[in-house]
Structure 1
Amino acid sequence: MAWLLCFMWLTGCASRGTVPSGPSPATALDSFAEQYVKLVLALGQHDPALVDAYHGPQRWADEAKHASVPLAEVGAHARALHALIESSPVPADPLVAMRRTFLLRQVGAMDARARLLQGEKLSFDEESEALYNARAPTHTEAEFARTLAELEQLLPGQGTLAERLEVFHQGFVIPPEKLRVVFQTAIDEARRRTKQHIPLPDDEAVTLEFVTGQSWGAYNWYKGHNQSVVQINTDLPITISRAIEVGAHESYPGHHVYNVLLEQHLVRERGWVEFTIYPLYSPQSLISEGSATYGPRVVFPDEAAYLREVLFPLAGLPPDRVEPYLRVEALLKKLSYVDNEAARRFLDGRFTREQASDYLIRYRLLTRPQVEKFLLNVTEERTYLINYNLGRDLVADFIERRGGTKDNPNRGWELLRELLSSPRLPGDLIDQHP
């Protein structure tokens, strides 16, 4: 009887009865959406990091905690709900059809996450496909070596390339006493520029905090009602480009704007309750992280000038060093897929921890402390890292193929706003390919 009551709460049967036969597509999707939210809340009782944001009915969160549905039963409900959505008719309205696909993919990811929590083993690529609806391409050491050769030309001197890079970066570290003013200035400017292209509610705001002891470098905690808290981890030295990355990625037009627009356009205007919750290990994360990682390119196309004229002087750094700094940073971004290769081999058991460390030092040029942070994060978040580089590339392709190029920045903003206000998922981006 206890299990039956839990299942009735999870499906919403206790308050509404079972979904009647032949409901309208909108009615069926609304029912599926409520079940999906309750499913994520139930799974979150077994997976504390899963629910990244929730601003739906507090009663549902309280009921999930009280019901404490066993993990195997949460997984069984995920599979049942997935089958229901899959058998439902595809709505004629393209946006509503996109909503149906969103629910289908998100519920499928919850099923996969439940199975993983119960001990099922998947390869790196199988797991990323199951959770994020995407697989990262493979890259060879030869590709990375070509980029490293270019860096060798920019960073001559004694010692290994990783050691020379560390010395180079020391010249661009933001002094601790300047962190708040530099980051807040970048966030404020990103906000000003974003609001010129994307209407935002008058009450939206980002609160900046500095923390320690985290595996990540920065994080956006969306609180609902157009409010975010952005935290910066100060465990390791922070170089100046991170200010622009955080200003754009975590705030404007990144995570904060994405969550604000979903709440405004899909929750408040359409009543789509599925967007009151954000499960971290789901296809939605590829859109969230991909668009946020793409954000600096959109909001700071004049990055060199802005650094030279504003942020470098503010941080007490030499403005005449902006160009060489950005040339090095551009090459380092090309090495981001080293992260995927190291994680893939480490998690698949083809690399020991020491081999992964050596690989990251050799091809990613990380310091030992950075390697430890990386491996801690990968151990906790596993395949999540593909959402950054692969997500960025898919978002860039989606926008640029549709005309949002450097020569037409207004079109780029228009497409980004459309993406951030819709239930699109990775498949919708990939389908843009001929």
Structure 2
Amino acid sequence: MKKSFILVVLIASLFGCNSTTENNSTKTNQDVKNMTVQRNLNSIATDYVKLVLQAGQFDGDIVDAYYGPEELKPKALQEGASFPGDELSAKAEKLILELEALAPNAVPKDQQARKLMLEKQLLAIKTKINMLAGVKYSFDEEARLLYDAAPPKFELAYFDTLLTELNSLLPGEGTLSERYTDFTNQFIIPKDKLEIVFKTAIAEARKRTLTKITLPKNENFELEFVTDKAWSGYNYYQGNAQSLIQINTDLPIYISRAIDLAAHEGYPGHHVYNALLEQKLVNENQWMEFSVYQLFSPQSLIAEGSANYGIEVAFPGESRLTYEKEVLFPLAGLDVSKADLYYKVSELYGKLTYAGNEAARQYLNGMLTRDEAAKLMQRYQLYTPEKAVQRTRFIDKYRSYVINYNLGKDLVADYVISNGGTATNIDKRWQVFEELLSNPKTASMIAN
């Protein structure tokens, strides 16, 4: 008995020495996995928040909103501080490896989607850090790494077909672009009517949303009209279910944009999305990673896509046109006699948005100059020269982010419909839509 025990001890000691020798060798991915199996997912999420906030010190657009603990914020940068790209990228890679290393039984089943989304969010911040450090990606690579999506490609001939169809709808003489401008100019909201029209539209969108989705009792927003922006509307989520909604008045605003922006920026769009994430995932689940909204990330595809699809959710079918003809057109002092044609034109025109993606792809890939990209959008999106220039400013600033509006909407719509939220089952549509807004989701996670 004693000899056997000694032999076992010697064998165990021998294997222990071999293991120690191996552990002293260069760390591999497996080493990282062994070291992090015991690490809590919450701890990794907290380090992710710190990383995003630190990167956000060097690019003000990275952090769209933050409503987490003050102690997670980094110290103020010293004047003249250089961008620590290698350091931040290495931090992101380390966290990605730690997440991948978590054993299946270390993450509860109800948090598997959370883990997957956090991996993709980390890949996005690593990519953005690399971009800030000078790394160049193609349009499609950037879209995949930042937004977990593969943008479709369209031949310009597809848009020529749409333009031909649009040409047959528009009255008058002159070029298609001239007739489109002349026709749509009849539906511009007078500047002195903007506030009453937008407040009314947001109130209606809010009323319809609150009958289907329960939000915190204190939820609210402020509305501001601003100028000199690259976008038409923006929601600055403040935390605690509060938003600042800004509308850019640099260019004329058409009556259709009142409902569009009311739903997109407010209800059931960005304001509702952020309020639900804060309420359900941050406050109730204590999932700290959702306390920071990293703009250039898969979360934005869901945010923009659901905000655009949310317009149809809140104003389904003919109910939108009916409401606008009965309420918003009179408020704006606009003639309702051509409203039906205006919305037929608008629906067809909406299909041209992917032409903007093609302009962005070719411009960012160096295939078009800025002027050429602007002219392409003037041709295929019928933009005025001023609008085309504004859009190139947006592309310069936000790059492949443009895919989140149209591709995001299509993916969200497909997801909601495939899960039973059809046009004939409105209650189910709202139910699936709310579920999408309240849980970790990315493009690849909802794609059919």
- Whether the 8 Å CA contact 1:208–1:231 is kept in 2: the answer is yes
Establish whether residue 154 from structure 1 lines up as the match of residue 169 from structure 2.
Answer: yes
Please name the residue that 2:68 is paired with: 56
Q: Distance in 1 between matches of 2:109 and 2:159?
A: 41
Establish whether residue 143 from structure 1 lines up as the match of residue 158 from structure 2.
Answer: yes
Aligned pairs, number: 412
Please name the residue that 1:402 is paired with: 419
Residue 171 of structure 1: SS of its match in structure 2? Answer: helix
Alignment of 1:104-123 (within 5 A): 104-123=119-138
Alignment of 1:237-386 (within 5 A): 237-301=252-316, 302-386=319-403
- Whether the 8 Å CA contact 1:41–1:64 is kept in 2: the answer is no
* Structure 2 counterpart of 1:36, from 48, 53, 59: 48
Establish whether residue 89 from structure 1 lines up as the match of residue 103 from structure 2.
Answer: yes
Q: In the TM superposition, what is the alpha-carbon distance from 1:354 to its structure 2 partner?
A: 2.2
Residue 278 of structure 1: SS of its match in structure 2? Answer: strand
Segments of 5+ residues of structure 1 without an aligned counterpart are 1-17
Please name the residue that 1:169 is paired with: 184
Q: Distance in 2 between matches of 1:196 and 1:204?
A: 14
Q: Distance in 2 between matches of 1:21 and 1:177?
A: 63
**Cα gap change, 1:121/1:19 in structure 2, threshold over 3 Å: closer, same or farther?**
closer
Out of 66-75 and 195-204, give the one that drifted further. 66-75
* Structure 2 counterpart of 1:234, from 249, 261, 266: 249
Segments of 5+ residues of structure 2 without an aligned counterpart are 1-31
- Whether the 8 Å CA contact 1:19–1:31 is kept in 2: the answer is no
Out of 61-70 and 259-268, give the one that drifted further. 61-70
Residue 138 of structure 1: SS of its match in structure 2? Answer: coil
Map Cα deviations across residues 16-59 of structure 1 (whole Å, 9 max, x no partner). xx9995666xx611001100000000111121110000011122
Please name the residue that 1:220 is paired with: 235
* Structure 2 counterpart of 1:74, from 88, 98, 107: 88
Q: Which amino acid aligns with 1:392?
A: K
Residue 77 of structure 1: SS of its match in structure 2? Answer: helix
Larger radius of gyration: 2
Q: Which amino acid aligns with 2:84?
A: P
Map Cα deviations across residues 153-207 of structure 1 (whole Å, 9 max, x no partner). 1113322111111111110000101101100111111111101110011100011
Q: In the TM superposition, what is the alpha-carbon distance from 1:93 to its structure 2 partner?
A: 4.2
Residue 63 of structure 1: SS of its match in structure 2? Answer: coil
Q: Which amino acid aligns with 1:172?
A: F
**Cα gap change, 1:399/1:268 in structure 2, threshold over 3 Å: closer, same or farther?**
same
Please name the residue that 2:3 is paired with: none
Establish whether residue 47 from structure 1 lines up as the match of residue 59 from structure 2.
Answer: yes
Q: Which amino acid aligns with 1:254?
A: G
- Whether the 8 Å CA contact 1:54–1:278 is kept in 2: the answer is yes
- Whether the 8 Å CA contact 1:46–1:71 is kept in 2: the answer is no
Q: Distance in 2 between matches of 1:385 and 1:247?
A: 20
Please name the residue that 1:194 is paired with: 209
Please name the residue that 1:179 is paired with: 194
Q: Distance in 2 between matches of 1:294 and 1:94?
A: 29
Residue 73 of structure 2: SS of its match in structure 1? Answer: helix
Q: Which amino acid aligns with 2:54?
A: A
Please name the residue that 1:420 is paired with: 437
Q: In the TM superposition, what is the alpha-carbon distance from 1:419 to its structure 2 partner?
A: 0.4
| Percent of matched pairs sharing the same residue | 46
- Whether the 8 Å CA contact 1:218–1:231 is kept in 2: the answer is yes
- Whether the 8 Å CA contact 2:117–2:440 is kept in 1: the answer is yes
Give the superposed CA RMSD: 1.8
Q: Distance in 2 between matches of 1:279 and 1:117?
A: 15
Please name the residue that 1:7 is paired with: none
Q: In the TM superposition, what is the alpha-carbon distance from 1:319 to its structure 2 partner?
A: 1.8
Please name the residue that 1:10 is paired with: none
- Whether the 8 Å CA contact 2:33–2:102 is kept in 1: the answer is no
Q: Which amino acid aligns with 2:40?
A: A
- Whether the 8 Å CA contact 1:210–1:231 is kept in 2: the answer is yes
Out of 55-64 and 186-195, give the one that drifted further. 55-64
- Whether the 8 Å CA contact 1:128–1:383 is kept in 2: the answer is yes
- Whether the 8 Å CA contact 1:258–1:420 is kept in 2: the answer is yes
Q: Which amino acid aligns with 2:369?
A: T
Q: In the TM superposition, what is the alpha-carbon distance from 1:426 to its structure 2 partner?
A: 1.1
